Amino acid sequence: MDLGQTRRGVDMGPSAMRYAGIIQRLEKLNYIVVDRGDIEIGRPSQFDITNDENLKDLDEVVKANEQLAEKVSDVVDKGDFPLVLGGDHSIAIGSLAGVAQKYENLGVIWYDAHGDLNTGDTSPSGNIHGMPLAISLGIGHSRLTKIGGYAPKIKPENIVIIGARSLDEGEKELIREKGIKVYTMHEIDRIGMTNVMEEAIKHVSRHTDGLHLSLDLDALDPQTAPGVGTPVIGGTTYRETHLAMEMLAERRIVTSAEFVEVNPILDIKNQTAEAAVGLIGSLFGEKLL
């Protein structure tokens, strides 16, 4: 999917991660990996269509996420772990729609430089990849919030955002209004990633029966992950993010995950895709010794 924003190329992110050896990496950890292929994404008659409600490429985003929700739901029904590769972050709408109906109280760790809590009313751009967390909370256009046939998918008290350093005014208001737990780069610098993750894990483990990890590669500093569409300087280091994944692996609480916003066109020698694959390895228990 590359229609949730305006910079072409992020639709090739899954291919870049496959090329970086994601399947072989997981198989080395003794997982049985089934690659279910790509979801076919339609094309609008012209790029960057903005309708009257400030939602670019709405029809295509809805259609793709409906398909993704069905596929993810099927994976969960089979007792398997859904690992979704993106693609821009609008795909989280479908991922969460497919997962959340299987849980009473799904927890979410949103590891991202951005809050993705905009709506058509608050978004400066109309890009739907900046809206999936709000949509999953049931806030936004009904065609998006009702994907999967129900809303909301998640509750604000079950969310933790980690790595935020670029929030729009409307997002800040929604965070305050809903009481969403956010660890900005200030908190990570001040108390360290170990303490942030310990607190975050405690928060999302309280009264939840599953945990979805949504990791946007732009959470990492652009020096580490240059191949993203909306880079923001001052992000987490590769080592800090590895630690975060390792701590989640130790607790064995993640029940579904997605890694998004890898854009090979903007990347340097597939550096960002390789970083994503390394982080996925850590999430699934890869260790040095």
pLDDT of residue 45: 62
242 catalytic residue (yes or no): no
DSSP E strand boundaries for the chain = 83-85, 106-111, 159-164, 181-184, 210-216, 256-260
- Kindly indicate the confidence band of residue 41, based on its pLDDT and cuts at 50, 70 and 90: confident
Query: Among 2, 221, 261, 274, which one carries the catalytic annotation?
Result: 261
Residue 47, SS3 per DSSP:
coil
Token pair 């737990």 is found at: 181
Is residue 5 scored above 80 in pLDDT?
A: yes
Domain assignment present for residue 56? The answer is yes
* Percent of the chain residues topping a pLDDT of 90: 91
pLDDT of residue 46: 59
Domain assignment present for residue 245? The answer is yes
pLDDT of residue 7: 85
Query: Among 11, 57, 114, 240, which one carries the catalytic annotation?
Result: 114
Query: Among 112, 171, 240, 274, which one carries the catalytic annotation?
Result: 112
Summarised one tens digit per residue, pLDDT across range 56-100 is: 999 999 999 999 999 999 999 999 999 999 999 999 999 999 999
- Kindly indicate the confidence band of residue 30, based on its pLDDT and cuts at 50, 70 and 90: very high
186 catalytic residue (yes or no): no
Total residues found in the chain within this entry:
289
Query: Among 60, 218, 267, 274, which one carries the catalytic annotation?
Result: 218
What is the CATH number for 226? Answer: 3.40.800.10
216 catalytic residue (yes or no): yes
Query: Among 2, 11, 57, 216, which one carries the catalytic annotation?
Result: 216
Summarised one tens digit per residue, pLDDT across range 12-28 is: 999 999 999 999 999 99
Domain assignment present for residue 288? The answer is no
- Which has the minimum average pLDDT: 7-11, 195-199, 211-215, 251-255? 7-11
Range of the domain at 36: 10-283
Domain assignment present for residue 153? The answer is yes
Number of domains observed in the structure of the chain: 1
203 catalytic residue (yes or no): no
- Kindly indicate the confidence band of residue 51, based on its pLDDT and cuts at 50, 70 and 90: low
Tokens describing residue 203 = 């928060």
Is residue 50 scored above 90 in pLDDT?
A: no
Domain assignment present for residue 289? The answer is no
- This prediction has a pTM of 0.96
Distance linking the first and last C-alpha atoms of the chain: 37
Report residue 200 CA to chain centroid gap. Answer: 16
112 catalytic residue (yes or no): yes
Summarised one tens digit per residue, pLDDT across range 254-288 is: 999 999 999 999 999 999 999 999 999 999 999 88
Domain assignment present for residue 127? The answer is yes
Q: What DSSP assignment string belongs to 163-209? A: EE-B--HHHHHHHHHHT-EEEEHHHHHHHHHHHHHHHHHHHHHTT-S
Tokens describing residue 191 = 């108390």
Domain assignment present for residue 5? The answer is no
114 catalytic residue (yes or no): yes
Tokens describing residue 186 = 């200030």
